[in-house]
Amino acid sequence: MQKCVAVLGGGISGLSACYYLSKTSNVSKVVLLEATGRFGGWINTTRREDGAVFEHGPRGVRPAGAVGRNTLNMLSDLGLEREILPVPHDHVASKNRFLYVNGELHKLPSSISGVVKTVPPFSRPIILSVMKEVLVRKGKQEDESVHSFVSRRLGSELADIAMDCLCRGVFAGDSRKLSVRSCFPPLHRAEQDWGSVLLGMLFGGEKAGTGGMSALAQRAKAESWAQWSLTDGMQTLPDALQEALRGRERVEIHHSAPVRSLSYTAGGWEIKQEDGTALKADHVISALPASVLASLLPPAARSLSHQLCEINSVSVGVVNLEYEGSVLPVTGFGHLIPSSEDRGLLGIVYDSVLFPQHNRRGEPTTRMTVMMGGAWFEETLGGPDEVKDQVLLDRAVQAVRSHLNITSSPVWSKAAVLKNCIPQYHLGHWKQLEAMRRYISDHALPLTLTGASFDGVSVNDVIFSGRTAAEGLVGKI
């Protein structure tokens, strides 16, 4: 098969699709086009000269499951083993996670003793809800909101507090709108296959993995890692991919190359760039946000564009803070805030506990990241284009002061609005996906949809989606 493949978008999913395609000789050429001046998309690290590292996007990746292993295999292939910073399950950042409810921090139970007794903010032992869950009848809906699912199976308190927080922490989204089937597929599957989340978790096992298990993936298992980062921050991963791709035959990667429009004839795709140049390709892998792809497609694909536009994303205000000394009153991963407590403030990550290796050299410091907005951005902060960085910074410093009683001022900070950064898989997302993919196959469009808008938002998910896109084209890699 002699095909020229264009990969649109140089975030981690586009880079991954390119990387997997570059491993086969079944394509004649692969061209990646990225709009901005750098690769990596939302993966974005500031590295200061004094050694401090600050993440503005993802900061930790889970090694668990088939997709976690796949990423570790890729890291191994790229020679990044020595860069890895593992956080094992027995690390304080894995054991101590907090919720901020009723004006106080509450540690989430992390052991059996924690679930058998009543631990605030919950009004009864969690084990009671979990045991009763086994008896709850299987739901009949094809899909359900995360809140409704958890409320039905585990009770309203866990839905209102724990799951509300988790959805804000992972998706910056509203558990009452997010789909359980698309956001937490293992929960949905457990109920479908076992009639119970608990039984599914205990006996369901894991989906078969793709590829083997590198020495790094074996090490992660043996050492029981809960998550990992990299010595110079997450940006190292797209940097290494970019480096590897530049050395490969048949692969071209271009940044500062925004795509303006796509047109399709029987002869293939014509991809117009902003500078007026046009590229011809037999197949397009789109690793763009759904709404961006919608705006590029030709009028003939209007109905696909409409479907793509229905996948909305939310914006997040991200504020990185650095304080002199060890000022945290607790140690752990950080705390999440339920929407009933403060709609606009999502959570605070205690980065210096999670990855102390990223602290600046010398005297101790405390690094934190405050996340705000998400599904509540407009109502609490205003338009993402209008809100001033200073407003985000003031809000973040105030939150640190009132939640953690830290009265000193940060010695360094960076505030930014990440516009439309997390896609929201609302109720029925799976049906929209099916319809879009059916449209593509019915119209024999040589187009593959990949990236965070579709099949999972985590770094692992989107790397795996890049792999799936490549394998869909050339077979198993």
- For residues 373 and 366, the answer to whether their CB atoms sit within 8 Å is no
* Strands 97-101, 45-47: pairing kind: unpaired
The type of residue at 7 is V
Q: Which is nearer to ligand FAD, 162 or 459 (CB)?
A: 459
Angstrom distance (rounded) from CA 338 to CA 166: 9
Q: Which is nearer to ligand FAD, 226 or 288 (CB)?
A: 288
Output the smallest distance, CB 157 to ligand FAD, in A: 27
What are the φ and ψ backbone dihedral angles of 234, each rounded to 5 degrees? Answer: -65, -25
Output the smallest distance, CB 456 to ligand FAD, in A: 8
Q: Which is nearer to ligand FAD, 338 or 423 (CB)?
A: 423
Output the smallest distance, CB 324 to ligand FAD, in A: 25
Angstrom distance (rounded) from CA 356 to CA 102: 30
Applying CB under 6 A, which residues contact ligand FAD? Answer: 8-14, 33-36, 41-43, 57-61, 258-259, 287-289, 292, 316, 318, 418, 421-422, 451-452, 457-459, 462
Output the smallest distance, CB 27 to ligand FAD, in A: 20
Q: Which is nearer to ligand FAD, 126 or 381 (CB)?
A: 381
Output the smallest distance, CB 115 to ligand FAD, in A: 26
Output the smallest distance, CB 451 to ligand FAD, in A: 3
- For residues 390 and 352, the answer to whether their CB atoms sit within 8 Å is no
Output the smallest distance, CB 400 to ligand FAD, in A: 18
What are the φ and ψ backbone dihedral angles of 364, each rounded to 5 degrees? Answer: -65, 150
Angstrom distance (rounded) from CA 474 to CA 402: 55
- End-to-end CA separation in angstroms for the chain: 15
Q: Which is nearer to ligand FAD, 35 or 178 (CB)?
A: 35
475: DSSP letter: -
Q: Which is nearer to ligand FAD, 200 or 456 (CB)?
A: 456
Q: Which residues does 17 contact at the CB level (< 8 Å), separation at least 6?
A: 7, 285, 287, 450, 466, 467, 469, 470
Q: Which is nearer to ligand FAD, 34 or 191 (CB)?
A: 34
Place of tokens 């039984």: 199
CA 332 to chain centre: 21
Which tokens is 256 given? 């500062």
